[in-house]
């Protein structure tokens, strides 16, 4: 089932950074950022237990619990259960993404994609989010970047555990849609080849961006479009570097990435195009994408994102990007 009718618009708000992903954010600043998203008319919010070991969900719930529940769409994730006992956030094994959320809550996080853990995780998320229902549930990070060589074994646990539970909850109307939320293309390609269970959509982060889209274009996006499985694009600024930040793939951006961003920015400047407009509109141009969900920790960012989506971008800019080899020749261009 497509989620295009379920989503209230093409721009959502991602709250990973509000779990203190890179820095300790004061509660008031986090609340003001969610409020800014609301005030700008954004009505789709994405979070996860992983984001600061519950901190992002708590902060989001604080603001959204004051809003009518029918007025917004909410997604969170399963795959990591947050315990009451403490651990050292710096010492967590996060595969390629070490150090992430070290400023978040110190609660112990346990990877678990089983059916029981999925149900428990949903119950815990409902409490932290102060709501009685979730609209979309993503199975989180069942991929190589977090689990290395073990990812296929964990995927198998998810296939027979989380996937089946979520499929049933969707069929029973408890949730409205489910899928995987990952930074890698391969788990989604594998999932599309399954006869069952059948997800409704995928949250793909960082892999259909202006900066990085070649692999997703080859097989995943055409196959997803062919099966009516929509893509929500996470990390549209490649975790910040495209928008003026310093992170790529949630680490300090390497020199070759910074150099490519500079080339894209120079071309955008020549055409009078904002880099955020280029990034968001590129991600949304593929027919498989349903929405884009940039994240932020500062209220002012949301106005930039909203303006970027509305900006008129000359066709000559897109063709120049293509001619200079900065985007794939077969990437759909915004109309």
Ligand X SMILES: NC(=O)c1ccc[n+]([C@@H]2O[C@H](COP(=O)([O-])OP(=O)(O)OC[C@H]3O[C@@H](n4cnc5c(N)ncnc54)[C@H](OP(=O)(O)O)[C@@H]3O)[C@@H](O)[C@H]2O)c1
Residues at the contact surface with ligand X, assessed by CB under 6 A: 14-17, 46, 138, 140-141, 181-183, 203, 205, 234-240, 243-245, 293-298, 301, 304
44 is catalytic: no
Closest-approach residue to ligand X (CB): 295
Whether residue 77 lies in the annotated active site: yes
H/E stretch holding 82 reads: strand 80-86
CB of 21 to ligand X, least distance (A): 7
Angle, nearest 10°, between helix axes 300-310 and 275-285? 60
The two structure tokens encoding residue 222? 């055409």
Q: Are strands 177-182 and 201-205 parallel, antiparallel or unpaired?
A: parallel
Q: Which is nearer to ligand X, 191 or 239 (CB)?
A: 239
Measure the CA angle with vertex 20, ends 209 and 62; round to 5°.
100
Judge whether 74 and 64 are in contact, CB under 8 Å. yes
H or E element, residue 306: helix 300-310
Distance between CA 299 and CA 284 in Å, rounded? 23
Query: Smallest distance, Å, CB 95 to ligand X?
Result: 12
- Tokens 């989380």 belong to 162
Catalytic residue among 77, 124, 141, 230: 77
Q: Is 55 helix (H, G, I), strand (E, B) or coil?
A: helix
DSSP structural state of residue 184: -
Question: Residue 323 Cβ, how far from ligand X at the closest point, in Å?
Answer: 26
CB-nearer residue toward ligand X: 181 or 199: 181
Annotated catalytic residue within 46, 112, 124, 305: 46
Please say if 260 is a catalytic residue.
no
| Residue 97 vs 173, nearer CB to ligand X | 97
What the block records as the tokens of 112 is: 């678990």
- Closer CB to ligand X, residue 52 or residue 235? 235
Closest approach of Cβ 81 to ligand X, in Å? 17
In this complex, which beta carbon is closest to ligand X, that of residue 72 or of residue 173? 72
Q: How far is the CB of 270 from ligand X (least distance, A)?
A: 20
Active centre residues (catalytic): 46, 51, 77
């Amino acid at each position: 089932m497509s989620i295009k009718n379920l989503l209230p618009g093409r721009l959502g708000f991602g709250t990973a950074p509000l779990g203190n992903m890179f820095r300790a954010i004061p509660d008031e600043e986090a609340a003001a950022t969610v409020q800014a998203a609301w005030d700008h008319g954004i009505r789709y919010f994405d979070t996860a237990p992983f984001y600061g070991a519950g901190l992002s969900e708590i902060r989001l719930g604080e603001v959204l619990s004051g809003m009518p529940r029918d007025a917004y769409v909410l997604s969170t994730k399963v795959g990591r259960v947050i315990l009451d006992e403490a651990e050292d956030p710096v010492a967590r094994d996060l595969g390629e993404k070490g150090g992430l959320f070290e400023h978040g809550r110190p609660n112990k996080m346990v990877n678990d994609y089983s059916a029981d853990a999925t149900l428990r995780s949903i119950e815990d998320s409902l409490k932290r989010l102060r709501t009685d229902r979730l609209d979309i549930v993503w199975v989180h990070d069942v991929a190589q970047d977090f689990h290395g060589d073990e990812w296929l074994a964990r995927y198998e646990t998810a296939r027979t555990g989380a996937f089946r539970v979520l499929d049933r909850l969707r069929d029973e109307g408890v949730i409205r849609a489910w899928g995987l939320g990952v930074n890698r293309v391969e788990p989604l390609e594998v999932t599309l080849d399954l006869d069952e269970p059948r997800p409704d959509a995928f949250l793909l982060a960082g892999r259909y961006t202006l900066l990085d889209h070649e692999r997703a274009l080859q097989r995943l996006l055409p196959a997803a479009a062919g099966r009516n499985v929509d893509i929500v694009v996470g990390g549209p600024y490649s975790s910040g570097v495209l928008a003026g930040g310093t992170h790529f793939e949630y680490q300090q951006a390497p020199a070759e990435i910074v150099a490519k961003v500079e080339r894209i920015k120079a071309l955008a400047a020549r055409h009078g195009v904002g880099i955020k407009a280029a990034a968001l509109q590129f991600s949304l141009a593929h027919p498989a994408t349903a929405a884009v969900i940039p994240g932020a920790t500062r209220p002012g960012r949301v106005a930039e994102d909203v303006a970027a989506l509305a900006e008129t971008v000359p066709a000559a800019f897109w063709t120049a990007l293509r001619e200079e080899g900065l985007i794939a020749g077969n990437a759909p261009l915004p109309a």
